[in-house]
Amino acid sequence: MSSLGDSAPRLHRAMCEGKSGLHPLEGFDVERPRCSLGGNLVSFSAESYLKKKNLRPLDRTGQLVAVATQLALEDSGWTTEELGKQDVGLVLGTFFGSVHTISEFDRHAVLAGPSYASPMDFANTVINAAAGQAAIWHGLRGVNSTISAGSTSGLLALGYAVDLIRNGRGTAILAGGADEFCFESFLGFERAGFLCGSDGGTGEFPIPFDRRRNGFALAEAGGLLMLEDADSAVARGAYVRGEIKGYGSAYDCARGRHSERAVEAIERAMRLALVNAELTPGEIDCLSASANGSVLGDRREALAIAHVFDAQSDCVPVTAIKSMIGEALGASGALQALDLLETMRDGVLPGIPLLEQMEDGLRPVVVGPKPRQVDVRTALINSVGFDGNCCSLVLGRFLM
Amino acid sequence: MCGSSVAERRRIAVTGVGTVTPIGTGREQFWRSLLAGRCGAGPVESFDTSNFQVHRGAEVKDFRASDYVFELDPGCLGRASQFAIAAARLALEDASLDPIAFDTQQAGVICGTTSGEPQVIEQFDDQYVGGGLDRIGPEFIKQYPCHVIAANVASELGFAGEVNTIPAACAAGNYAIAHAFDLLRSGRANVMLAGGADSFSRITFTGFARLGAIAPDVCRPFDRRRKGMIPGEGAGMLVLEPLDRAMRRGARIYCEVAGYGLSCDAHHMTAAHPEGSGAARAMEAALRQSGVTPDDVDYISAHGTGTPTNDRLETIAVKRVFREAAYRTPISSIKSMLGHTMGAASAIEAVVCALAIFYDHIPPTINLQESDPDCDLDYVPNCAREHRVAVAMNNAYAFGGNNSSLILAAAPTRLQVTVH
Amino acid sequence: MDAEEIRAGIKRIIAKVSGINCAEIADSASYVDDLGLDSLSILEIAVNVEHDFKIKEAQDDELSEIRTIEDTVRFVGRRLCVEVA
């Protein structure tokens, strides 16, 4: 569920057409804002998907996850009947859970007095609330967990779920991530200087790798993939879109304060993913970067890519979909995966619209503003946080 | 995918424990207090409760972050991170594990939590409400999101491998330990710090008070007059490493992690399934993976929050799984002493299980004076008990219907367990 | 304020919390059996009622007797010293 569509094909088509899910923000009034762009879902109506009258128990993050769950179940061909017979799990990555619900609950209690605090909102102040709500709404009785590793949460959730399936904890697990766009997170990122824009008013450039870039644009989304043990999936006649071949994660103890160490951690996550997938860099056909317009982040990731791919970095096309979808925090890794699965199917890798000139000295072959034809058998996805977490995951074609 | 076949069923040992709790910090002080049945409940001091109908909590007293935080600036850390770092340092020291001596890229931190750093958001809210949004600075994003807890521990100690936070509310500690266990078994790590941390929070206190779940005096798990839980705070951390490596370096081995079970009720956000089926499924899965039967379990560390409903349903669930053996298996709730330390609870309780195995001694359920016909098991009332413990089960249940069961077993010389 | 206003106010709260249309909420409806509400929803309704009608310190024994909308109307009436038939 994203600002560019509620299905992987729609999202992918929009991005291949260079459409942007970012727009001028309305109703998020922050004093002296440097950033006026965001990727929030302006007309999101959970009712139209969930078809139940009463959505009061769900907060926005809960709605995003419940809707993404519904869409993923439908897309993967799981019926209500099958759900009754087999336990499907859910592993959700999230940056905040719902900071808006937590903050609202607290503010209301402070202003009106604690005896008028909302019990329903309290249930949603725990960070695993959305995963719990989705389980209730859709009858998911399999293993249910929530994981937080900053903006790498969604990609890491995919890896966590793969390991759970391999360990026999379940044969079918929905995995991915969600984060809502809210005043609290917008203000937080704004004040930390991460959002695109400048004090001089020179414009907002959330354009990955571009020399004019000056920060990212915050977005919201929910993205889930149905992961299944391959034999079970084939046995039930599922349409298999791809395979997760491996993942790796690493942590930068300096939390982004030293360039070399930041680059090293990103590089290490990528190498661990490749080793885990038993692949060499030369076998990777394309890369979906985490780059989102951050001045430091994009540069460091580019350096790490160049180190890993070395001689091949002139050949591996690199895209960065946050150019269009914005920084959806916990959901971003899942959206990158969903998009790459489409690329594996139709051979088109989205471009980076508005990319006019790459920063000097960045080596990877970034696709450029236009989409590119690529035959993809295996692809690497990066997810890099601003404060130390790094994760990479390898997707591949599914071969029987 | 390579990695999953590496040391396919590596056995995992607990070689160090660290705790920050309302009744003591550090293994020795904590264990002594537990066995003595010390109660950590008292009037809430960290904020004004005059607008509430309840006023008691279990807060950590006399905690100085600067005693444990050396690399990072304690002033830039939320309280939960400070607790987590303290517990982690204590656990590493307890394990005699010096970060210089191992590959820190193969070392990680998995921390469970319920609230993350609530005091940071409470401050944000105070400013919001007071019209002072302009005072909010970059610290909010850098200090508040819950992933910073594991990250802060990792940065403080120099661990550069798998670092993340599992915010599974009141079962978070077990979930974190389970995840660390899997990472070690699959070869993604060689040393893991796993546990949970939470700080006292106005938000949490308000919510539980509003649900009517807070006791007016003390926490009395399984007692007929029980009225609810006492919110608490703290941290528990365990050092986990492959058994063979631990033995090679001559480490003290408290116990092994034999297995775990997780389940989801998919029933109600704040109330357990009325037949205790989710809790039962988690226990059954844990027993299955560990290759032990209910008869083998010598001690159960209960979730035992002291609410009328939890204790009754938990008893039902234990009986479902253990049948006749339920009546022969001591089961106690340390929440009677520590209060409910939220995301830290099941981690601290896992520490307790490790110590129970190591010392053959079971902590009591204190404040238990009147028995409840619905709760008729052996809850080790009021006095600690010397008892051979070769296998311990740690149960924890959370909002959102997340249930967990962790099984710890004595090290190989004492018991042969087949770990599947 | 009269009984009708109290009843209408309560129904509005129930509608907000449960999504059930005011028009479909019978005066005699019970929260659990007729409206199918769970414990969290019922508590949310109670808190909203206390807030909107400015009722302070509702006691457990007052609230534990409430099963139907009429029970709530009577409770509010008692607290506000309003006659409810």
The parent domain of residue B304 ranges over 259-409
Tens digits of residue pLDDT in B369-397: 999 999 999 999 999 999 999 999 999 99
Q: Among residues A193, A212, A235, which one ends one of the domains?
A: A235
Task: Please say if the pLDDT value at position A36 is more than 60.
Answer: yes
Q: How large a percentage of chain B has pLDDT more than 70? A: 96
CA distances from A264 to A361, A382, A385, B147 (A): 18, 14, 14, 20
Yes or no: say if A246 and A277 are a contact pair by the CB < 8 Å rule.
Answer: yes
CATH 3.50.50.60: does it fit domain C3-80?
no
Q: Are residues B92 and B240 in the same domain?
A: yes
Query: Does pLDDT of B108 surpass 60?
Result: yes
Per-residue model confidence (pLDDT) at position B290:
95
Per-residue model confidence (pLDDT) at position B47: 95
Same domain, B283 and B334: yes
Query: A140, A85 in Cβ contact below 8 A?
Result: no
Do residues A368 and A385 both lie within one domain? Answer: yes
> Residue C58: closest CA among chain B residues belongs to which residue?
B53
Nearest residue to B170 (alpha-carbon basis) of B408, B406, B337, B395: B395
| Burial annotation A250-264 (CB, 10 A radius, 16+ → b, else e) | bbbbbbbeeeebbbb
Check residue B420 and give its pLDDT. Answer: 45
Residue C85 — pLDDT band, cuts 50, 70, 90? low
Residue B62 lies in a domain: yes
Tell me the average pLDDT across B178-197: 97
Q: What is the mean pLDDT of chain A?
A: 94
ipTM of the complex: 0.97
Q: Is A378 a residue whose pLDDT tops 70?
A: yes
The predicted pLDDT at position B134 comes to: 87
Q: List chains adjacent to chain C, taking adjacency as at least 3 C-beta pairs closer than 8 Å.
A: A, B
**How far, in Å, CA of A9 to CA of A372, rounded?**
17
Amino acid at C40: L
The span from the CA of A127 to the CA of B166, in Å, is: 9
14-53 in chain C: CB under 8 A from chain A: 16-20, 40-41, 43-44, 47, 50-51
B398 touches chain A (CB under 8 A): yes
Domain membership flag for residue B417: no
Query: What number is the average pLDDT over the span B99-114?
Result: 93
Q: C59 CB near a chain B CB, below 8 Å?
A: no
Please confirm, yes or no, whether B387 is among the known catalytic residues: no
Question: Which residues in chain B (389-418) have CB-CB distances under 8 A to chain C?
Answer: none
Q: Is residue B2 part of a domain?
A: no
Count other Cβ atoms within 10 Å, centred on residue B378: 15
The domain boundary residue, chosen from B248, B278, B303: B248
For B225-270, how does the pLDDT look when each residue is reduced to its tens digit (9 = 90+)?
999 999 999 999 999 999 999 999 999 999 999 999 999 989 888 8
Beta carbons of A80 and A163 less than 8 angstroms apart: no
Whether B241 and B307 map to the same domain: the answer is no
Classify strands A37-38 and A89-93 as parallel, antiparallel or unpaired.
unpaired
Taking an 8 Å cut-off on Cβ atoms, the answer to whether C39 and B269 are in contact is: no
Q: Are residues A114 and A229 in the same domain?
A: yes
Residue-wise pLDDT for B9-39, tens only, equals 789 999 999 999 999 999 999 999 999 999 9
The answer to whether residues B266 and B244 belong to one domain is: no
Considering only CB atoms, A105 lies closest to which of B126, B151, B203, namely B203
Q: What is the pLDDT of residue A285?
A: 96
Domain ranges for chain C, please list them: 3-80
DSSP β-ladder status, B299-301 and A37-38: unpaired
Based on the domain organization, do B148 and B213 belong to the same domain? yes
Angle at the Cα of B122 from the Cα atoms of A134 and A195, rounded to 5 degrees: 75
- Would you state the structure tokens that stand for residue A96, as one six-digit string? 């905040």
Pick A145's closest partner by Cβ from B4, B115, B175: B175
- Considering the domain architecture, whether residues A265 and A389 belong to the same structural domain is answered as yes
Name the residue facing A118 among C19, C44, C57 (closest C-beta).
Answer: C44
Are residues B294 and B237 part of one domain?
A: no
pLDDT tens per residue across span B39-51: 999 999 999 999 9
Residue-wise pLDDT tens digits, B161-175? 999 999 999 999 999
Give the pLDDT mean for A212-229: 97
The lowest-confidence range among A197-206, B52-61, B301-310 is A197-206
- A79's CB contacts (< 8 A; 6+ apart) are none
Q: Confirm whether A34 is domain-assigned.
A: yes
Task: Enumerate the residues of chain B whose CB falls inside 8 A of the CB of residue A250.
Answer: 105, 160-161
A360 within some domain? yes
State the pLDDT at residue A52. 77
pLDDT tens per residue, range C54-71: 998 787 788 888 899 999
Assess whether pLDDT exceeds 50 at residue B2: no
Q: Which domain holds residue A101?
A: 8-235
- Chain C's closest residue to B211, CA to CA, is C43
The CATH number that applies at residue A333 is 3.40.47.10
Band of residue B1 on the pLDDT scale cut at 50, 70, 90: very low
Please classify residue B48 by burial: count the beta carbons closer than 10 Å to its beta carbon, then call 0-12 exposed, 13-18 middle and 19+ buried: exposed
Residue A188 tokens read as: 């937080």
- Ranked by mean pLDDT, which of A197-201, A384-388, C24-28 comes out on top? A384-388
Q: Is residue B199 part of a domain?
A: yes
Determine the distance in angstroms separating the CA of C16 from the nearest CA of chain A, rounded to an integer. 8
Which domain CATH number covers B229?
3.40.47.10
Structural domains of chain B, count: 2
Cα–Cα distance measured from residue B203 to residue B185, given in angstroms and rounded to the nearest whole number:
37
DSSP A173-218: EEEEEEE---HHHHHHHHHTT-BS--TT-------TTBTT---B-B
- Determine the average pLDDT of the residues in B407-417: 72
- Catalytic residue, chosen from B111, B255, B273, B340, is B340
B141 shares a domain with B31: yes
Q: Of B179, B273, B303, B361, which residue is the catalytic one?
A: B303
Give me the sheet containing A144-147, strands edge to edge.
Answer: A144-147, A89-93, A172-179, A221-228
Catalytic-role residue among B39, B146, B170, B255 = B170
Q: What is the pLDDT of residue A62?
A: 97
Chain pair B-C, CB pairs under 8 angstroms? 15
Considering only CA atoms, give the Rg of chain B.
20
A198 and A278 share one domain: no
Considering CB atoms only, which of C19, C56, C57 is closest to A54?
A: C19
* Residue A300 clears pLDDT 60, i.e. is over it: yes
Same domain, yes or no: B244 and B263:
no
A99 CA to chain C: closest CA distance, Å?
20
Looking at the structure, tell me whether residues A137 and A15 fall in a common domain.
yes
C47/A117 Cβ within 8 A: yes
Mean predicted confidence (pLDDT) in A99-121:
96
Residues of chain A with C-beta less than 8 angstroms from the C-beta of C57: 115
pLDDT at B416 exceeding the cut of 60: no
Report yes or no: C5 and C25 within 8 Å, Cβ to Cβ.
no
Same domain, B237 and B267: no
Which chain A residues touch C51 with a CB distance below 8 Å? 112, 116
User: Domain ends where: B199, B215, B248?
Assistant: B248
Report percent pLDDT > 70 for chain A: 98
Question: A135 with A281, same domain?
Answer: no
Per-residue pLDDT, averaged over A314-320, amounts to: 87
- Chains sharing 3 or more CB pairs under 8 A with chain B: A, C
Calculate how close chain B gets to C47, using CA atoms only, in Å. Answer: 9
Q: Are residues B31 and B173 in the same domain?
A: yes
Q: What average pLDDT does range B92-98 have in this prediction?
A: 94
Whether A221 and A273 share a structural domain: no
- Residue A2 lies inside a defined structural domain of this protein: no
Tell whether A228 and A286 lie within a shared domain: no
Question: What confidence tens digit (pLDDT) does each residue in A250-263 have?
Answer: 999 999 999 999 99
- What's the gap in Å between the CA of C60 and the closest CA on chain A? 13
Q: Between C40, C57, C60, which is nearest B269 by CB? A: C40
Nearest CA to A157 among A389, A336, A340, A331? A331
* pLDDT value at A313 more than 60: no
Domain stops at, among B248, B281, B303: B248
Of A184, A203, A235, the one marking the end of a domain is A235
- Could you list the beta-strand ranges (E) of A55-123: 89-93
Please tell me the total count of domains within chain A. Answer: 2
Place B413 in a pLDDT band, splitting at 50, 70 and 90: low
CA atoms within a 13 Å half-sphere pointing along the CA-CB vector of B154: 33
Note which residues in 242-271 of chain A have CB less than 8 A from chain B.
Answer: 245-246, 249-255, 265, 268
Name residues 288-307 of chain B within 8 A of C (Cβ): none
Closest CB from C20, C40, C50 relative to A120: C40
pTM of this structure: 0.96
Mean pLDDT over each residue of chain B, to the nearest integer? 94
DSSP readout, C53-64? Answer: TT-----HHHHH
pLDDT of A81 > 90? The answer is no
Cross-chain residue pair A56–C17, CB shorter than 8 Å: yes
Contact (Cβ atoms closer than 8 angstroms) between residue B251 and residue B243: no
Residue B5 pLDDT greater than 60, yes or no:
no
Separation in Å, CA of A120 to nearest CA in chain C: 6
